[in-house]
């Protein structure tokens, strides 16, 4: 790429990033208003009979927009020894339970991101070589064993104003 092409792409990227951010904020406000309108409008049953909830049909001329209020969100997991597990086990057969649920044991990072984890690991594991070995074991890899990476174009860090 030429310096002119790079400059052009940076300018266009900055413009698009700002527009997308503004459009997302505007859409969020529109959706809040439509949700409020849906809550105060008459409700009808959902098309999918297997779902629980209701919907309002908002109209604009010959167009209609369903505002769906689902009430059947399910938790994805629960503690193996917790109240929910005990209650369900009391109510259904072992075969039904194992057909619906699997018990999974995982270790989760205590830190919410990789950078904080690396800092904590260096504090907890004094031997730098061992620390790097542990961090290597924790790197996400493809099915072929290649370490995954990501590229971030840091528009929010772009400095200076367009000329």
Give residue 126's pLDDT: 87
Together in a domain, 67 and 78: no
Q: Is 49 left (phi over 0), alpha (psi -120 to 50) or beta?
A: alpha
Name the β-bridge partners of 53: 70
Residue range of the domain that includes 131: 107-151
Give residue 82's pLDDT: 87
Give residue 48's pLDDT: 79
Which residue has tokens 């649920």? 101
Q: Which two tokens stand for residue 140?
A: 């996400």
Q: For residues 56 and 41, what is the distance between their CA atoms, to the nearest angstrom?
A: 6
> Cβ distance 85 to 77 under 8 Å?
no
Q: For residues 60 and 37, what is the distance between their CA atoms, to the nearest angstrom?
A: 13
Q: Which two tokens stand for residue 146?
A: 């290649």
Give residue 2's pLDDT: 97
Per-residue pLDDT of the chain (163 residues; tens, 9 = 90+): 999 999 999 999 999 999 999 999 999 999 999 999 999 999 998 887 777 889 999 999 889 999 999 877 778 888 888 889 899 989 998 989 988 998 887 778 888 888 898 899 999 998 999 989 988 888 888 899 888 888 787 888 877 776 6
Together in a domain, 49 and 19: yes
Quote the number of domains for the chain.
3
Give residue 88's pLDDT: 92
Give residue 160's pLDDT: 78
Together in a domain, 7 and 68: yes
Give residue 5's pLDDT: 97
Give residue 163's pLDDT: 62
Together in a domain, 11 and 26: yes
């Amino acid at each position: 790429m030429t310096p002119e092409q790079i400059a052009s792409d940076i300018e266009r990227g900055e413009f698009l990033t700002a527009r997308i951010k503004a459009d997302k904020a505007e859409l969020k406000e529109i959706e809040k208003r439509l949700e409020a309108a849906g809550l105060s409008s008459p409700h009808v049953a959902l098309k999918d009979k297997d779902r629980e909830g209701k919907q309002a049909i908002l109209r604009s001329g010959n167009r209609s927009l369903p505002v769906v209020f689902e009430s059947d969100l399910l938790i994805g997991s629960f503690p193996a020894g917790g109240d929910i597990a005990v209650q369900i086990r009391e109510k259904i057969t072992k075969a039904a339970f194992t057909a619906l649920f699997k018990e999974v044991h995982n270790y989760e990072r205590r830190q919410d991101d990789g950078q904080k984890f690396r800092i904590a690991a260096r504090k907890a594991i004094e031997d730098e070589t061992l620390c790097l070995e542990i961090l290597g074991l924790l790197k996400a890899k493809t099915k072929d064993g290649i370490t995954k990476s990501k590229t971030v174009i840091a528009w929010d860090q772009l400095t200076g104003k367009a000329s």
